Amino acid sequence: MRPFRSHTLVAALVAACVLAPAPAATQSLVAPESVGLSSDRLQRLTRAFDTYVDEGRLPGAVALVMRRGEIAYLESFGFRDREAADPMETDDLFRIASQTKAIVSTAVLMLQEEGALDINAPVATVLPEFAETTVAVRRDDGGYDVVPANRAITFRDLLTHTAGVDYGTGLASDRWEAAGIQGWYFADRDEPVRETVRRMAALPFQSQPGARFVYGYSTDILGAVVEAASGLPLDAFLRTRVFEPLGMVDTHFFVPPEKAQRLAVVYAGSRGDPLERAPEGGGWQGGQGLYLEGPRASFSGGAGLVSTARDYARFLQAILNGGELEGRRILSPKSVELMVANHVGDLMGPGQGFGLGFQVVRDLGARGRLGSMGEFSWGGAYHSTYWGDFTEDLVVVYFTQVLPAPGLDDHVTLRNLVYQAIVDGGARRGR
């Protein structure tokens, strides 16, 4: 394989590809009927989520429905801060956690398009410490042995969560704990993500590369890949190459001080009990987090961003459009096609697959939920979710801040009430 370009040359190439920032996202709402949705039927969604708030099952939320590139529904419910009786607004900021993964996966595909990496190549071509990795294997006595990986981890393994890397809580959790690397939360780390990832490479992983779908640090490792391959810090790459071109003016790794009042409060749920305000500070198992006050040193590619419903919808619409939005292209249509293809066979269970950063629908009947073939989706630890539907030319973003959120069925309600509001199904059929 030909050697990759030096960081200096790649950084120069990246700089040459930077698009001028898009204007601030000021897209107004359209009448639902103009894009094949029923206003009356969308009111069912409003009533349902008002009820969730009134019953104390949700503190507050924002829901956005975009069809044919137009926002037809954007509503806020409940409170940004329930104790202060501060109502939720549609432009409030949310911790989007694992919804960061799709954006960083997009950045990796952008670098492939620029010749900086090949997703089927070993990760070690960019991060040398991954040349020889290990795997923890259970023994009959309940302990574990550490064995060499049977092949090199590739970028595609990381993109599809089949690299065998968990969140440090598996068989070798004692070693991950001793290394100070467990859980998805990075905002309290006072070291660059590249250094954290460097230490990960020496720890035993949960399974052999390609053998299983294992959810964990794969996209955080990809964040370090973006930094090493581009020569830019992850926050700078995403800001200049994704957020500014797409007009995502409110998406950040850490909340700017002037926007602090717009950050929604986190609440903790337990089955059958009232929601409680999460404690100040706190790490990956709960709390408000250090997105306002903290080291601001670690850019977690797997779970670090805050955003608004409008911003995230603009990113999803760019994917739905084949990699561009309002004349600003971040990916080619063929890269998008590859991202939303199923790369993992049957590893995700009935009807589901996984692409390069997204879960995808490969058999609608087997999945048994309203939607469309080829739909792409995922969510975040604070109980947020999203999806994009090519058949219906539809984007849905739903943000709330509840961690944990046991027993909540609002995601199912959202899906059912969005799709029942479509009155001219198949927006792209026959095109």
3-state class (DSSP) for residue 122: strand
First vs last Cα of the chain: how many Å apart?
A: 41
Cα 73–chain centre separation: 22
CA neighbor of 59 nearest in space, from 36, 37, 84, 29 = 84
Active site residue 105: no
> CA-CA distance, 117 to 125, in Å (whole number)?
8
Catalytic residue among 76, 98, 298, 384: 98
Average per-residue pLDDT for the chain: 93
pLDDT at 313: 98
Per-residue confidence (pLDDT) for residue 430, from 0 to 100: 37
All domains in the chain, ordered by first residue: 32-102+237-419 (3.40.710.10), 123-231 (no CATH)
Across residues 409-422, what is the average pLDDT?
A: 98
pLDDT at residue 2 is higher than 50: no
Look at 11-20, 62-71, 341-350, 382-391 and tell me which has the smallest mean pLDDT. Answer: 11-20
- For residue 26, name the pLDDT band (cuts at 50, 70, 90): low
Strands (E), 296-399: 306-307, 324-325, 328-329, 352-354, 359-361, 376-380, 384-389, 394-399
Average pLDDT over residues 169-184: 97
Q: Three-state SS for 384?
A: strand
Lowest mean per-residue pLDDT among 8-12, 207-211, 236-240, 365-369: 8-12
Nearest to 224 by CA among 314, 155, 327: 155
Q: Which region among 201-205, 262-266, 271-275, 392-396 has the lowest average model confidence (pLDDT)?
A: 271-275
Which residue do the tokens 């309600």 mark? 413
**43-49 own/partner pairs: CB under 8 Å, 24+ apart:** 44/417, 44/420, 44/421, 45/73, 45/75, 45/414, 45/417, 45/418, 45/421, 46/75, 46/77, 48/413, 48/417, 49/75, 49/77, 49/410, 49/413
Write the CB contacts of 289 (distance below 8 Å, at least 6 apart in sequence).
Answer: 95, 185, 187, 266, 281, 282, 283
Residue 428 has pLDDT above 80, yes or no: no
- CB 394, CB 65: distance < 8 Å: yes
| Predicted pLDDT at 331 | 98
pLDDT of residue 281: 85
Residue 270 pLDDT > 90: no
Concatenated DSSP letters of 8-36: HHHHHHHHHHPPPPPPP--PPB--GGGGT
Residue 6 pLDDT level (bands cut at 50, 70, 90)? very low
Residue 305 sits at φ, ψ, to 5 deg, of -85, 155
CB of 257 closer than 8 Å to CB of 330:
no
What is the per-residue pLDDT for 339?
A: 98
Q: Which of 19-23, 68-72, 251-255 is least confident?
A: 19-23
Distance CA 401, CA 380 (A): 10
Do 166 and 177 contact (CB within 8 A), yes or no?
Answer: no
Question: How far, in Å, CA of 35 to CA of 254, rounded?
Answer: 35
pLDDT, tens digit (0-9, with 9 covering 90-100), for 38-61: 999 999 999 999 999 999 999 999
Please give the sequence-ordered ranges of beta strands (E in DSSP) within 244-393, or none if there are none. Answer: 267-270, 273-277, 306-307, 324-325, 328-329, 352-354, 359-361, 376-380, 384-389
Which DSSP string do the residues of 138-188 spell out, in sequence order?
E-TTS-EEEEE-SSPPBHHHHHTT-S---SS-STTHHHHHHTT--SS--TT
- Looking at residue 18, its pLDDT comes to 58
